[in-house]
Amino acid sequence: MTEMVYGAIPARDGDPILPRWWSTLDKWSLGCVLMLFGVGLLLGLASSPPLAARNGFEPFHYVERQVIFGGAALVTLLVTTMMSPTLVRRLGVLGFIVTFVALLGLPFAGTDFGKGAVRWYSLGFASLQPSEFLKPGFVVVAAWMISASQHLGGPPGKSYSFMLTVAIVLILAMQPDFGQACLVLFGWGVMYFVAGAPITLLMVLAGAVAFAGTLAYSSSEHFARRIDGFLSPDLDPTTQLGYATNAIQQGGFFGVGVGEGQVKQSLPDAHTDFIIAVAAEEYGLMLVLFIIALYGTIVVRSLVRLLRERDPFIRLAGTGLACMFGVQAMINMGVAVRLLPAKGMTLPFVSYGGSSLIAGGIAVGMLLAFTRTRAQGEIGDILTGRGH
């Protein structure tokens, strides 16, 4: 409570490492992440046994795997929060290069697991989705380029970051994975806006995105089918969206009761893309609002702490990570209530999925590393030269 009112006290360099890390960390956001993971396990216990039975596994096969992946994600998150912004940047750049190469290799060695989009590598014991790991690395690289362009005599980083963004969006659209492509484009747009982009340029970019969407609709059957299904006034009750909408309506304010929900029997993705429908049906609107509040707390607290940050790279990267994290959650829940077309995007730390959990741990770990309290004087010191 003291930290919420007065803010965290910056640690001194001579303090021991662990106490220094703990005293500068945004503990409220970390607590929200842990609660989201706990909610994910709770919902996994409800949603995954029917799928496990259909696939010939033990009832809690997917829950046990989620515990393993989630444990790895939390360890990764905690280790990342202990890193300095410079180390986060270096590892982020290296990770981006590796995942970008992996993304390019998907057409040759990837698989679609019967879902019509080649997004994964099959490792036998698990699958790997490079686009999930690409996002945090991309934010770091783009923020680095944009911040470098603000230095006197710096490179044209904004132009470089834009060309890199367009390349990634085109590669993702070819899979096709329009959801991740939109998320990458949104993350870059947020960082570009925070860096001081003129509003006219952003409006031109918005027009270009609308034109690209029209082109995708006319040339991609996968994209057109999802848009047509979203715009159709009649909702087929036997589709995933139909089952999810009915489950949310049945749940009401307080749900039908633990274990009493039926949507998990019909939805093949009840434990991943549509897990919020399971939450709404069994626990009602109250749990859904609690989940939304947890995501909102992480995003708002992170952005407020970044307002005090003087380093342009940290401010841009942190803003990009926070906004992409929040928007991904909004997209997942928006699809379930039919506010958005189907995207095939997980709910961070709640949905089942090894790539999603571990990549989410990396992204939020970076965010918490960037939002740690640092002794940096007043913003006005930059103007007087006393901050150097």
Query: pLDDT tens for residues 294-350?
Result: 999 999 999 999 999 999 999 999 999 999 999 999 999 999 888 888 777 899 999
Q: What is the pLDDT of residue 305?
A: 95
Q: What is the pLDDT of residue 10?
A: 53
pLDDT band at 62 (very low <50, low <70, confident <90, very high): very high
Each residue of 9-57: pLDDT tens digit? Answer: 555 555 677 888 899 999 999 999 999 999 999 999 988 888 888 888 8
pLDDT > 70 fraction of the chain, expressed in percent and rounded: 93
Q: Which of 177-181, 235-239, 270-274, 327-331 has the lowest mean pLDDT?
A: 235-239
Q: What is the pLDDT of residue 84?
A: 94
**CB-CB contact of 247 with 280 (8 Å):** yes
- What would the mean pLDDT of 344-359 be, rounded to a whole number? 92
82 is a domain residue? yes
Q: What is the pLDDT of residue 103?
A: 95
127 is a domain residue? yes
Q: What is the pLDDT of residue 272?
A: 86
Helix, strand, coil proportions of the chain in percent (round to 5)?
A: 70, 0, 30
The more confident residue out of 271 and 366 is 366
Residue among 182, 181, 94 at smallest CA distance from 137: 94
Q: What is the pLDDT of residue 228?
A: 81
Residue 189 has pLDDT above 90, yes or no: yes
Residue 192 has pLDDT above 80, yes or no: yes
**CB-CB contact of 374 with 368 (8 Å):** no
Other Cβ atoms less than 10 A from the Cβ of 164: the count is 18
State how far the Cα of 245 lies from the Cα of 263, in Å rounded to an integer: 10
- What would the mean pLDDT of 76-100 be, rounded to a whole number? 97
Residue 121's H or E segment, with its range, is: strand 121-122
**Token duo for residue 341:** 């077309």
100 is a domain residue? yes
State how far the Cα of 347 lies from the Cα of 272, in Å rounded to an integer: 7
**CB-CB contact of 180 with 135 (8 Å):** yes
117 is a domain residue? yes
**Token duo for residue 191:** 């960082």
pLDDT > 90 fraction of the chain, expressed in percent and rounded: 55
Q: What is the pLDDT of residue 201?
A: 80
Q: Report the predicted TM-score, pTM, of the whole model to 2 decimal places.
A: 0.90
pLDDT band at 94 (very low <50, low <70, confident <90, very high): very high
Q: List the domain range (segments joined by +) for residue 325.
A: 52-140+240-372
Length of the chain: 388
121 is a domain residue? yes
Residue 388 has pLDDT above 50, yes or no: no
Q: What is the pLDDT of residue 11?
A: 53
Q: What is the pLDDT of residue 360?
A: 96
Residue 4 has pLDDT above 90, yes or no: no
- Averaged pLDDT of the chain: 87
The more confident residue out of 339 and 146 is 146
10 is a domain residue? no
The total number of structural domains in the chain stands at 1
- What would the mean pLDDT of 279-292 be, rounded to a whole number? 95
Residue 106 has pLDDT above 50, yes or no: yes
Residue among 181, 123, 51, 41 at smallest CA distance from 355: 123
Q: What is the pLDDT of residue 273?
A: 87
Each residue of 197-231: pLDDT tens digit? Answer: 888 888 888 888 888 888 888 887 777 877 887 78
204 is a domain residue? no
Q: Which of 84-88, 269-273, 289-293 has the lowest mean pLDDT?
A: 269-273
Residue with tokens 């299904």, as numbered in its chain: 229
State how far the Cα of 354 lies from the Cα of 67, in Å rounded to an integer: 10
State how far the Cα of 295 lies from the Cα of 361, in Å rounded to an integer: 14
State how far the Cα of 107 lies from the Cα of 109, in Å rounded to an integer: 6
180 is a domain residue? no
